[in-house]
Amino acid sequence: MAHIRLENINLTFFVKQDTGFTLKDFLVGGFFRKHYKPPMQVQALDNLNLEVHDGQKLGVIGHNGAGKSTLLKMMAGIYKPTSGIRDVNGR
């Protein structure tokens, strides 16, 4: 029997930030300056709980950037959760 259980799932990504460093900045002497911004932490899924049993249907709707594809990729095992329990068919 198919069954999906997500318990206290968190998924965090680290995204590179734009430094705003242009070719003009580089040519005017920026070669020796450090233009580094640390990666920005983005919480894609935050404390998610979900259980879907055999025979049930699940629809996922939401605005652009709400995390629909991220949720499905995490459920499929493409993304590993940062924390929490992902149990699909007992695995």
Query: Closest Cα partner for 77 from 65, 63, 89?
Result: 89
* Burial (Cβ within 10 Å: 0-12, 13-18, ≥19) of residue 47: exposed
- Locate the domains of the chain by residue range: 4-88
Residue 32: alpha-carbon gap to chain centroid: 34
- Is residue 23 classed as helix, strand or coil in its secondary structure? helix
- For residues 67 and 44, the answer to whether their CB atoms sit within 8 Å is yes
**pLDDT (tens digit per residue) in 20-54:** 777 777 777 666 666 667 889 999 999 999 999 98
**pLDDT (tens digit per residue) in 6-28:** 999 999 999 988 777 777 777 77
Is the pTM here over 0.75, yes or no?
no
- Angle (CA) 64-65-68 rounded to 5° is 90
